[in-house]
Structure 1
Amino acid sequence: MPNNSDVTTTDSTDATTRVHDLLLRFPGIARARVTRDASGDLRAEVLGWDAPASSPYVGPLAELDMHNPDEVQFLHDEIFVGESYLDGGIVLRQDAVVFDVGANIGAFALFVGARCPSAEVFAFEPVTDIHQQLRRNLERYGVRARMFEAGLSDRDREVTFNFYPDLSIMSCRSDYASLDTESELVKQYVQNARESGSTEREEHLARVESLVTRDFERSERRCRLRPLSAVLDETGVTRIDLLKIDVQRSELDVLLGIEDRHWPLVQQIVMEVHDEVGTPTEGRLRQTQSMLVEHGFKVSGSEVELLRGAGRYTVRGIRPEYAEDPRPVVARTGNARALRPQEIVSWLAERLPHDLVPRDITVVSELPSH
C-alpha cells in the first residue's frame, strides 16, 4: 500500500509543474515559479521578457536552452529591451507572417511570440547544435512556428559552417568567416558599452571580453542552404509581413535567393548588413539599400550603436503601401503591455481545472534560479 504522504507530494509536484509549464505559454511570461501555501492553495510568481537582465542567471533568460548566457544577455538587451527590430517604423500586425533568417536559439522568435501571439514564425537555423536549442525553446514557450534546419541563400546547396560554442551568434559559413574580425567586434562591443556608462554591467562585460583572450573553440558542421523562393513555393506562403535577416555576411545571398515574382510578397525587411572596410563586404551597405529601393521599399539604415566602428549596420525596408493594410498593429516600439495578473488568471481558467488555477499571481522584477 502506498504511503499517503508520498502520493500527496507527487500530486502536488505534478500540479505545480503543469501550471508552471502552462504559464510559460502565456504571451510575455519568460519565467514562473509555482508553489503551494500553508492552506494548500497554488500561488505563482511570474517574470516578463522585458524585465531587466542584470544577470542571465536571475533574469528572464535563466531557463532558456543556450550555449552561453552572456551572449544571450546581449541578445535580450538588443531585442527585448532595446526593441531593435521594431525601430524605424517596423510593426507587427495581427496574424503577421514573420521569416526569421538566422534564428539562432530563438530570441527574436520568442520576442514575436510575446508581442504578437497571433503571428506565425518561419525560423531558419542551419547549424544542428543551435537548431536543437531553437526547437526546444520555441516549443516550450508555445510560439507558433515552423522551424527549418537550413539557412537561406541564393541557391540550394550544402556548405561548411564554422560553429563557435562559446559565441554561437558568430557561427557562419566557413568561407565567410573572419575570426580576427569577430575578435575585434567583441572588443568593440565591450569598449562601446563601457563608454556608454554601463558600469553596472561590468561583470557581464568582463566575461564577454574574456572570450577573446583565449582561442575560440571551433568545429565544422555541414549545413544546407536553400533559396527563399523555393521555400515560398513549398509552403504556399502568400505574404511575408516581416523578413528579418541576421546571417553573418550572407545577407546579400539571402536577397539574391528571392525571385522577381516573390519580391511583392515581402512587406517589411529588417537586416544586419556587414560593410567592413578592406574586406569583401566593403560597399555592401549601399548595394543592399539600392536593391531594396529598386524593389519598391522605402529604405533607412543606421549603424548598430554598441558596434559602432565595426562595420555593422541595420537596414530597414518598408513598402509605403503597407501602411494601408487593414489589420491592426499589435506591436510597435514602445507599446509593450505590462503583464496583468487578472488576465493571466482568466487565461489559465480557460485551460485548467478550477482547483489548479492559482489563487494569487504576482508579477515580480526578479526571479532567481532554483
Structure 2
Amino acid sequence: MQSATLPDGRVIFCVNAYEVDFSVHEIFSEDLLAHGLSLPADGVYLDVGANIGLFSLYLRDHCPTARLIGFEPMPAAFAALKANMAAMSPAGTAVQLALGDHSGWAEFDYFPGIAALSTQNRAVGQKMSAGLRGLLGGGAAQDGVQDVLDKTGVAAVAHDAAFLDQLFQPEVVRAQVETLSDQMRVLGVDTVDLLKIDTEGAEREVLAGLAAEDWPKIRQMLIEVHLGEQVLAEMAADLRRRGFTTSLGRHPLCRDGAEVFHIYAAR
C-alpha cells in the first residue's frame, strides 16, 4: 500500500498515490443535494465498487454517525479500503466481494497502474483505457480536470508510449461474487439510505441481484453507467417504473469513446 494526503491534510491509504487527486476532484466536488439526493447523518450507505473508499470518506464527512459498508473485490484496493474504513470514527465496514446477479467466482481485468479502471467487463475496460489514454495525452480535459491532471505530473509522461502501455496493462484476477440481497441479509441491512454503484460495467448485474422484496428497502441510488446512452435511458426508465424520480449527469471522462454517465435516483 501507498499513502496520499488529501487537500484537508488527512493521510489515507491507496494503491497509487497519483490516482487520488483525480478521484478526490471527481467525488468531493459532487453536489448530491443538487440532484435531489439527501444524506441523513445516521443513515445506512452501501458503497458498491468502493475501490479505496474515497466515496465512503466523503459520506463520513457529511454523515458523522452513518453506517458505511464498502464492497471491493480487488485485493490491493480492498487492503486500502479496509485500512481507510478502520481509520474512520466510527469505523466503516469493508467487504471483499464483487456484487452481481448470482453467487460464484468471476475473472476481472485488474489494472495495477490505475486500479479504479478494474472491471469484470473487458470491453468497458478497453474503452475506458482508450478514453483515459486520450485524455492524458490530448490536453482537452474539461471542468477543471486538466488542472488536476497537471497537478499529478502526468503531463511530463503523457507522450511516453512505453509508460502508457505499462500504465494501462491489465492482469487477470479471480474474485468472489455474491448478490446484493444476500449481503443485505448477512449484514442485517433493512433499509438503505443510499446505494452507490460504480462497478465499471457491471451496474445492471448488481441491480439484478436485488430480490423483488428488497427493492422497497432502497431509498436512493447513485449509479455510474458505463454501457452507453441507450442503457442509461433503459436503466433510468426502469427505476422510474419502480417509484424513483431520476436525474442524469455526465462524468468528466465522458469523451473520446469513454461513455460514463450518472443516474441519481430517489423515492
| TM bracket (short chain) | 0.7 to 0.9
The one-letter code of the counterpart of 1:105 is I
Aligned to 1:214, the other structure's residue is in SS state: helix
Normalising by structure 2, report the TM-score.
0.86
CA contact (8 A) 1:270 1:315 kept: yes
Which structure has the larger Rg over C-alpha atoms? 1
Which one of 92, 96, 99 corresponds to residue 43 of structure 2? 96
For each residue in 1:207-252, what CA deviation from the matched residue of structure 2 results, as whole angstroms up to 9, or x when unmatched?
A: 6846873232432221111111111222221100000000000001
Partner of 1:127: 74
In the aligned structure 2, how far is the partner of 1:137 from the partner of 1:252?
A: 28
- Measured after TM superposition, the shift of residue 118 of structure 1 is 0.8
For residues 202 and 261 of structure 1, do their structure 2 counterparts lie closer, same or farther at Cα, with a shift above 3 Å needed?
same
1:239 paired with 2:186, answer: no
Distance 1:164 1:60, change over 3 A: farther
In 2, are the aligned partners of 1:248 and 1:274 still within 8 Å (CA)?
yes
In structure 2, do the counterparts of structure 1 residues 272 and 123 end up closer, same or farther at CA, with 3 Å as the change threshold?
A: same
2:230 aligned with 1:283: yes
- Could you tell me whether the CA contact under 8 Å between 1:123 and 1:146 is conserved in 2? yes
Q: Does residue 1:295 correspond to 2:236, yes or no?
A: no
Is 1:113 matched with 2:60? yes
Asked if the contact 2:223/2:264 (under 8 Å) is kept, the reply is yes
Say if 1:197 and 1:266 are closer, same or farther in 2 by CA, change over 3 A: closer
Matched to 1:255, the amino acid is: L
Distance in 2, Cα, partners of 1:261 & 1:188: 43
Spell out the pairing of 1:142-161 with structure 2 (5 A cutoff).
Answer: 142-161=89-108
Q: Tell me, which stretches of 5 or more residues in structure 1 are unaligned?
A: 1-30, 32-55, 277-281, 320-370
SS of residue in 2 equivalent to 1:252? helix
Q: CA RMSD in A?
A: 2.7
State which of 16, 21, 29 in structure 2 corresponds to 1:73.
Answer: 21
Paired-residue identity, %: 27
Letter of the structure 2 residue corresponding to residue 184 of structure 1: G
* 3-state secondary structure, aligned to 1:113: helix
Tell me: CA distance 1:93–1:192, structure 2 relative to 1, closer, same or farther (3 Å): farther
Total equivalences in the alignment = 259
State the partner residue of 1:360: none
| Residue 222 (1) aligns with residue 174 (2) | yes
Q: What 5-or-longer segments of structure 2 have no aligned partner?
A: none
Match of 2:251 among 301, 304, 329: 304
Q: Aligned-pair distance for 1:193?
A: 2.6
